[in-house]
Amino acid sequence: MARNNIFGLDISDHSIEAVLIKKTFGRPKVAAYARTVLRGDVIRDGIIKNPERLAENIKKVLASGRPKPIRASRCILSLPDARAFTTIFKLPAGLKHSEIKNTIPYKAEEIIPFKSSEVYFDFKTIVRVDSTQEVFYAAVPTKVIDGYLDVLAKAGLTAVAFDLESISLARALVSPALINEAKKHLAKDSKKFDAAILLMDIGARVTNLNIFDRNGIRQSLSIKIAGNRFSKALAAKLSVTEHEAEALKIKVGFDSKQDKGRVALVLQKEFERLINETKKLINYYQEESGRRVGLVILAGGSSLLPGLDQHLTDNLGLPVKIGDILTKVNDPANLIKAKNKSVIFANVLGLGLRGISKSPAIGDINFLPLKKAGLKFKPLATDKLAWRLVYVRLAVLLVAAVVFVGLTIFKNRGFDLYQQVYPVPDYSTEVSADINYEALDQLRLQFMLDAATSTSTTTPTTTPAVIEAESLFTIKIKQTSAGYLNVRSGAGTNYPKIGQVDSGTELPVLAEQDNWYQIELIQEAVRQEGWVSASYVDKVEE
């Protein structure tokens, strides 16, 4: 397995998953994967309790990879949403990335219980609407990230990025096809609709609810009602051991026809609060945003309980589907063997997909501080291939230095190797001394007289009668989500729209006022002057 690859590593309270994705001409495919269950109190609620034991478990799971061990040393991890603080700020559209970076820590201190110096944070603009941009902000306490970095160092690994679990999950499960499916469901009630998707990740200790809409996570909620609690409730109500309760939960689930309906009845009771909290979250988002949730996608180990999807559909009034990771990868045979259990790899698959993206470190939210994500010129001691490449490069550099010094010495001694190989041609020519200079002077004088006569008798040319308006400079319309930019009758969003110009169009600026530019708009052979916002254009260098 190539050592310069980046693999996804998902460390949860209950298990460790690792996936290495490989690029292909079509959809990417899984090159290797591995999973192990964590025993004992190694990590709890995203906080590492036993660093040494966790590092050893990471080494073992990578060595157990199928069809081959995962030998890559760089990875992308995710952190549970319960460990992070997230919100969405609405900022002026004209603010640049550097300006947001300097401003947002102070705004964040108003809503998170930490100082900006006590967290690692990142942000990204998820949508622009008129003069406003919505910026997704996320922060994690520094001690949480530093704890994971120490464990990775013990395991001989280097982190490229720390992702947010909800974002990674959406990357693996949400697709244009599912968004269209959500729209079709809502289309039954209204002709005009906007569809959001609810991700319900039911783990061992926590269930995470995340609403994905317009390129990002909009609302999140973590509830401590999950798989372990279901097993304990079954053990208590049915008077069986937790091991037996776990087996009943997986086998029977919500099937009321099995075990006289006792298992289904207990699970239905346990899910009541989870369903109520889900309804509250959906209603709150729909009232605040004016948009609607049209589909629920299940993830996590407990999402595989028989009949759970239908039970949620009946109680939420929304279509519910178990997440399908195979829509994002090219038919990975090893995962197909897991049958319907492949959804447990959804989060780590999202991390692996980020690993093969164009910019894994900066392409999405990354809690890894820049000072720790900087370039490392010294490879790991165990990475023999990397050290071999270092030695080869040093040898090539040494040979080049010797050749350069040798050529310099030869040239100082009067020997120029370049001129020996490519001699300078002799451009000297023989000029006859028999030249009549008086004749040349007479010809020169006659030429000057002819030129003066021609100038005095030439009819002057006239300039065209049409004079174009003088422009200040030229602008180019930026790429927008709609593919065009509105043109208004005056310098401000309060003026009516008179037309639009396509993204990428270059136009001369006739006037400038209050961060707005006046342009000439030509539509259907009609010329008129309009104004565009300077926030959505770039000046074209002359």
Bridge partners of 21, per DSSP, are 30
Mean pLDDT of 175-196: 79
What is the C-alpha separation between 19 and 36, in angstroms, rounded?
A: 12
* Pick from 238-242, 372-376, 446-450: least confident: 372-376
Q: Is the pLDDT of residue 196 over 50?
A: yes
Domain boundary among 400, 425, 459: 400
What are the CA-CA distances from residue 391 to residues 63, 189, 395, 467 (Å)?
27, 68, 6, 68
Using the 3D structure, point to which of 378, 400, 422 is the last residue of a domain: 400
With beta carbons less than 8 A apart as the criterion, state whether 196 and 294 touch. Answer: yes
For the chain, how far is it from start to end, CA to CA, in angstroms?
50
Q: Is the pLDDT of residue 487 over 80?
A: yes
pLDDT band at 69 (very low <50, low <70, confident <90, very high): very high
Q: Does residue 531 belong to any structural domain of this protein? A: yes
Tell which residue, 201, 156, 328, 29, has the closest CA to residue 19: 29
Evaluate whether residue 248 is within a structural domain: yes
Residue 24 pLDDT class (50, 70, 90 cuts) = confident
pLDDT score for 472: 78
Listed in sequence order, the residues at least 6 apart from 15 whose beta carbon sits closer than 8 Å to its beta carbon are: 35, 36, 37, 38
Q: Tokens for 2?
A: 């190539």
CATH number, residue 10:
3.30.420.40
Under DSSP, is residue 174 helix (H, G, I), strand (E, B) or coil?
coil
Same domain, 8 and 151: yes
Return d(Cα 61, Cα 17) in angstroms, integer.
Answer: 8
Q: Is residue 429 part of a domain?
A: no
Whether residue 43 is found in the same domain as residue 88: yes
Q: What are phi and psi of 360, to 5 degrees?
A: -60, -35
**Domain-ending residue, one of 400, 424, 454:** 400
- pLDDT: is 104 or 337 the higher one? 104
Query: Does position 459 have pLDDT exceeding 60, yes or no?
Result: no
Mark whether 143 and 288 lie in a shared domain: no
Range of the domain at 355: 1-175+328-400
Q: Show the tokens assigned to 298.
A: 């299940």
Q: Both 276 and 340 in a single domain?
A: no
Query: Is residue 321 pLDDT above 90, yes or no?
Result: yes
Residue 450 lies in a domain: no
Pairwise CA distance, residues 212 & 293, whole Å: 9
Residue 422 lies in a domain: no
Note whether 282 and 362 are same-domain residues.
Answer: no
User: Do both 194 and 287 map to the same domain?
Assistant: yes
Is 451 domain-assigned? no
One domain for residues 274 and 371: no
- pLDDT digit string (tens) for 291-301? 999 999 999 98
Cβ atoms within 10 Å of 308's Cβ, excluding its own: 20
SS3 per residue for 394-452: HHHHHHHHHHHHHHHHHHHCCCCHHHHHCCCCCCCCCCCCCCCHHHHHHHHHHHHHHHH
Element containing residue 18 per DSSP (H, E): strand 15-22
Average pLDDT over residues 424-435: 46
Residues 332 and 284 in one domain: no
What is the gyration radius of the CA atoms in the chain, in angstroms? Answer: 34
pLDDT for the residue numbered 26 = 80
Retrieve residue 197's tokens. 């998707």
For residue range 76-95, list pLDDT tens digits in order.
Answer: 999 999 899 999 999 999 99
Q: Contact, 185 vs 295, CB < 8 A?
A: yes
Rounded distance between C-alpha atoms, residue 186 and residue 194, angstroms? 8
pLDDT of the residue at 370: 62
pTM of the model: 0.68
- In a shared domain, residues 510 and 525: yes
Of 332, 24, 342, 354, the closest CA to residue 160 belongs to 354
pLDDT of 143 reads: 94
The tokens of 152 are what?
């990775």
Q: Residue 508's CB: how many other CB atoms inside 10 A?
A: 17
Whether 529 is covered by a domain: the verdict is yes
The SS3 call for residue 258 is coil
Q: Over 50: is that where the pLDDT of 190 sits?
A: yes
| pLDDT of 525 strictly over 80 | no
Contact between 534 and 491 under an 8 Å Cβ cutoff? The reply is no
**pLDDT for residue 419:** 59
- Lowest mean per-residue pLDDT among 198-212, 265-279, 404-418: 404-418
Number of domains in the chain: 3
Q: What is the pLDDT of residues 491-510, one digit of tens each?
A: 888 788 888 888 889 889 88
Same domain for 4 and 142:
yes
pLDDT at 332 (0 to 100): 59
> What CA–CA distance (Å, rounded) separates 356 from 67?
19
Mean pLDDT taken over the chain? 84
Residue 252 makes CB contacts below 8 A (sequence gap 6+) with: 258, 259, 263, 264, 306
Provide the CATH number for the domain around residue 521: 2.30.30.40
Question: Is the domain of 198 the same as that of 156?
Answer: no
Residue 244 reports pLDDT greater than 90: yes
Residue 135 and residue 42 in one domain: yes
Quick check: is 454 in a domain?
Answer: no
Q: What integer pLDDT is reported at residue 344 of this predicted model? A: 85
Judge whether residue 16 has pLDDT over 90.
yes
Element containing residue 58 per DSSP (H, E)? helix 51-63
Tens-place pLDDT, residues 300-317: 989 999 999 999 999 999
